Amino acid sequence: MKKKNAFRKELPYIAFLIPALIVYTVMMFWPMVQAIFLSFTDWNGLSFEGLHFIGFENYAKVLHDKQIMTSMTNTFIFAIFVPIFVTIIAIPLSVALNSKMKTRNFQRAAFFFPSVPSALVLGYLWSYIMSPMDYGLLNKFVTSLGFRKVLWLSKPNLAMFSVIFVCVWSQIGWHACIYLAQLQSIPGELYESARIDGANGWQIFTRITIPLLKPAIGTSVMLLLISSLKVFDLPFALTGGGPGFSTTMISQVIIQKGFSDRMYGQSMATAVLFFIIVAVVTIIQQKGGKKNG
Amino acid sequence: MMKAKMAKTLAAAMAFTTIAGAGSVSAFAKDKSVVTLLSWYTEDQMKPLAEGFEAANPDYELEVQYVPPTDQYIEKLTLLMNGNEPTDLFFMCPEVREDVVATDFAVDLSDLPIMDRLSEGAKSCLGVGDAVYGVSLDSWIAFMFYNKDIFEEAGIKETPKTWDELVEDMGKIQDAGYSPYAIDMDNVGRLAFGLFSADEVSKDMHVEDAISDGSKKFSELYKDTMNRWADDVVAPGYLGQESLSLTSNQVNEMFATGQIGMMIGGTWTIPSINEINPDLNWGGFAFPGTDGGQMLQGAANVGIGIARKADNMEGAKAFMDYLTSDDGIQAWSGAFGNFMNPSGVDYEVDSHLEEFKQYVADGKLYWQTVEWPNSNIMNTVYVPYCQNILAGVNTVDEMLQAMDDKFAEYAGK
């Protein structure tokens, strides 16, 4: 009887969830299940007639494909360095934006703004800023200092650096806001007590601010990790994945294999493999976050 | 009461009139037989042809269903090929030749009288074996643009007729303080294509069939060409690494503003140059080979074909009759302004390109990716590896091996 009453009480909430559940199942869950199934077949992308089960053949091809392996490496490099640099810059920035300045509100808006336009727009914008042409702002600045033009997007290592730089530049404001929100929940008495006890700025920062920012750090790093792993638009707009394969990310390869090359089986095998890797990374990151409290 | 009755009667009469009118309009519309066309070009671009066809055939109406080229169009066409409701007409493109044969999608047009006026290249581009599945009425061409003032300043008196002369001219332009040559990042290896065409294709238009049938590898045919390109153009820095981050618009701008001596472009490049610098003193020349062979890059353009399962076969045939008539050919020329394939057609092109008319008429144009099987896939290897050769990351041998591996992977698919 108690169970029946409890269920009746839950019923309205379940009813509200059903439409969202249906949409999620149809748009996300079912295509994912289908993709996993089709990754073991030679599906031609058009009809299921003549479909053959080919086992792990697609997976074997994927693991032996140099371009796919290169793009996985690129993606992991991107996903490691972007969270590191954003975190290192966003935390001190949030402390600065939390201080009492007359222009505090303006500065918060100014730093937040780069995260507003879409990554595609930012990519195209920075491709002009970093262009080797005469109107490339960055090279105008470099040559005005007496140095030679820098081929930001033409040299493979520099191209990857440029992609990471633009991503970090666009994300620091947004993640500084996450830290700012957390900072504002730290009681001011803690800082007062620390100053009374003779702690200097650096000690306050490392012994009070950073430990109390841990929840925000966990959230920020998780968001950065996931978005960096599945990045597509920024490198595509900035470099097209080049020069060569130096900034080709795994998402670009998945799309290219599927829609351009029409090798749907390999495309889905790549996507499934990558899904597994992202899931493992996320679980490790979550568990690591819980351990550190 | 009287008023209410009158109002009701009036309303009923109006309703009846409207229905009768609609009926009569639809009855009128039914008199025109609709011919559907899956189009590579927009409705606006096809308007002259549609109007010409409908004027010559008042019983028919052409319905244009536009899908943007190239990948989206090929995807849509492939869907139609595997479904049961094709449009009556469609634009045939080289990339789907194998699929057209496999699905028996299109009518063989090789018996049409127009075929006697088309070059072998124009027919084979949209056909397989002896069958032709699309009527290609025009060709696109690409060639080497050159800045005449820079050439003069560098002491170059005439355009190069051999590869060695081209390389020498690049050196002279560089000595004069200009960048000899630039190209956008997606076409870094294009000059190598030009050299291969001038050296090999000029002697045998079907030389690359050996790659398609697997009797020769890509590396066997292209080794010399790629090494010459790397040694003569890349190594001395005549093609600078900045090309790896240039778009085609940026290259056009550099050429139009006199920063570079040469670039590769086509008829589509000319409006852009004219817009940036209408006073630019420029010219064009065909790609020179080692022994003086010369070829343009280009291919017969997409052409219209008839679906075998067309709903309105009579209408489709009527359109084809119009398209291949003198009126239809002139309408096409006026609509697209390209080089015309049928012989005996009087048409106008940009004054800089008059000499290329004969190249087109003689079929002296070639474009590798039209001939390669699964060319869009092969390009995903060719382009990045050429970029890597320019960046100093890969060698020519590594690139050739990668191309061989890719051709082998997709052989028979």
pTM, rounded to two decimals: 0.83
Question: Is residue B29 scored above 50 in pLDDT?
Answer: no
Q: What is the mean pLDDT of residues B236-264?
A: 95
pLDDT of residue B6: 65
Angle at A228 between CA A224 and CA A232, to 5 degrees: 140
Q: Contact A154/B186, CB-based, under 8 Å?
A: no
Which token pair is B249?
């618009």
- Asked if the peptide bond before residue A243 counts as cis, ω within 30 degrees of 0, the response is yes
For B308-367, the pLDDT digits (tens) are 999 999 999 999 999 999 999 999 998 888 899 998 888 888 889 999 998 988 888 899
Which of the residue ranges A112-121, A196-205, B185-194, B248-257 would you say has the lowest mean pLDDT?
A196-205
Q: Residue B75 belongs to what H/E stretch? A: helix B71-82
Inter-chain residue contact A242 with B242, CB threshold 8 Å: no
pLDDT of B398 over the 70 cut: yes
In Å, what is the CA distance from B66 to each residue of A135, B45, B87, B135, B137? 37, 10, 12, 18, 19
Q: For residue range A92-150, what is the model confidence (pLDDT) as tens digits? A: 999 999 988 889 899 999 999 999 999 999 999 999 999 998 889 999 999 999 999 99
Instruction: Give the CA distances from residue B402 to residues A128, B76, B382, in Å, rounded to whole numbers and listed in that order.
Output: 32, 30, 8
* Model ipTM over 0.90: no
Q: Which residues pair with B179 in a beta bridge?
A: B260
For B204, the 3-state DSSP assignment is coil
Q: Which domains does chain A have, with CATH numbers?
A: 59-291 (1.10.3720.10)
CATH code, residues B142-297+366-409:
3.40.190.10
Size of interface A-B (CB pairs under 8 A): 80
B136 touches chain A (CB under 8 A): no
Is A244's CB within 8 Å of B79's CB? no
Q: What's the pLDDT band for B20 if we cut at 50, 70, 90? A: very low
Distance from C-alpha of B400 to C-alpha of B360, rounded to nearest angstrom:
31
- CB pair distance less than 8 Å for B185 and A240: yes
User: B35-137+301-341 has which CATH code?
Assistant: 3.40.190.10
| Phi, psi (rounded to 5 degrees) for B315 | -65, -40
Phi, psi of B264, deg, nearest 5: -100, 135
- The closest CB to that of B380, out of A154, A239, A261, belongs to A261
Out of A1-5, A236-240, B116-120, B147-151, the most confident range is B147-151
Answer for the pair B201, B366: CB distance below 8 angstroms, yes or no. Answer: yes
Q: Residue B263: pLDDT above 50?
A: yes
Contacts of B78 in chain A (CB under 8 A): 46
Q: Is the pLDDT of residue B255 over 70?
A: yes
Q: What is the mean pLDDT of chain B?
A: 89
Contacts (Cβ under 8 Å, ≥6 apart) of B288: B160, B161, B162, B163, B165, B166, B198, B294
d(CA B319, CA B316): 5
Does B86 score more than 80 pLDDT?
Answer: yes
Structure letter (DSSP) for residue B200: I
User: Comparing B35-137+301-341 with B142-297+366-409, is the CATH topology the same?
Assistant: yes
Residue B14 pLDDT > 80, yes or no?
no
**Could you tell me how many helices (H) and strands (E) chain A has, helices first?**
15, 0
* pLDDT, position B21: 46
In angstroms, the CA B291 to CA B381 distance is 29
Task: Domain ranges for chain B, please list them.
Answer: 35-137+301-341, 142-297+366-409
Select the residue from B241, B245, B396 to test the A interface by mutation, using most A Cβ atoms within 10 A.
B245
**Is 80 exceeded by the pLDDT of residue A194?**
yes
> Which of A154, A159, A260 is closest, CB to CB, to B376?
A260
Q: What does chain B come to in residues?
A: 413
| Nearest chain B alpha carbon to A124 | B247
